[in-house]
A and B are shown apart, each in its own frame.
Chain A
Amino acid sequence: MEKQTVRSFVFVYLALIGLLALTVGSSFLELGRLNVFVNLAIAAIKAGLVAAFFMELRAAQAVVRLAALAGLFWLALLLGLSLADFLTR
């Protein structure tokens, strides 16, 4: 097996477990509204690690990355435009 790749996967795995501990730990701190943002930021970092390494977006062709970004783009529209309404009523 490709030693280099396997090693990077194990590092990513350890980082993901560390981030999980961090997100659960932070939820016991009284940070007010900040708790949500800490949780979402950590989840986004974890998702980025999985996509970049395990799903190999890092080494993917431009058109494949574009398809992945398209998913995020439409999600941003869905969430962004909905909340632009509900948050400003």
Chain B
Amino acid sequence: MPDSRALRAQFDDLGQQREAAALGMWVLLATEVLFFGALFTGYTVYRLAFHDAFVAGSGHLNVVLGTANTAVLITSSLTMALADVASRSGSRRAVIGFLAATAVLGSAFLAIKGLEYAQEYREGLVPLNSLVFSYSGPDAERVQMFFNFYFAMTGWHSLHLLIGIGLLIVFIVLAWRGRDRVRLEGNVRAGALYWHFVDIVWLFLFPVLYLVR
């Protein structure tokens, strides 16, 4: 017997409710595409104007850690997709297991990103207000522009991922406390769309920032 709150009053049936939820999530994601799109557009304009400096700046990023992080995030998308399937047709334990695996992988991504930020901080490549940006090569101001974009874009992305991890923890607690199956499925569905979107943003950020040639 499903929870009476599983089907909201404004919908005829669960199928219609699911479709409306998917539509709502995709509209939200379309606005997010434009949010990150503005950053990508600004970056593209400056990269075209300051090409050599952006190649130099990109050369200071850690490609090994960046590649590892991409693999971590792709793996987290797989476990998220499996949590999504499990919420429809698997056991509650499987849902909790896959959600937890996704949260751990997402946290690993942030930890690795933190290592990279620490490395860049030690090299004096963080152009934030009170910090000294000490780059001794040519075109230091243009290289600084690259790092402005790098920290703005990866910073906003990491914030999105942090929000995603928070959502996963909430879902794990809800599942643990025996939330109605249909309602949990709806939560995981929406969370999965958000998580995959954040993964897609990184799939573009990685080559665009780390592999400038």
Contact = CB atoms under 8 A, between A and B. Distances in A.
B14 interface: no
A74 B34 contact: yes
A78 B34 CA distance: 8
Contact of A54 (B63, B89, B196, B208): B196
Contacts of B34: 71, 74-75, 78
B110 interface: no
A45 to B, nearest CB: 10
A54 B33 contact: no
Given A9-B81, A72-B33, A35 B19 contact: no
Interface size class of A (residues with CB under 8 A): 35 or more
A64 B193 CA distance: 12
B48 A6 contact: no
Contacts of A83: 44-45
A17 to B, nearest CB: 6
B86 to A, nearest CB: 6
Contacts of A75: 33-34, 37
A71 B30 contact: yes
Interface string B56-87: 00000001000100110011011011101110
B37 A78 contact: yes
Given A20-B74, A39-B208, A55-B193, A70 B200 contact: no
Interface of B: 19, 22-23, 26-27, 29-31, 33-34, 37-38, 40-41, 44-45, 48-49, 63, 67, 70-71, 74-75, 77-78, 80-82, 84-86, 88-90, 94, 192-193, 196-197, 199-200, 203-204, 206-208, 211, 213
Interface of A: 1-2, 5-6, 9-10, 12-13, 16-17, 20, 23-24, 27, 30-31, 35-36, 39-40, 42-43, 46-47, 50-51, 53-55, 60-61, 63-64, 67-68, 70-72, 74-75, 78-79, 82-83, 86-87
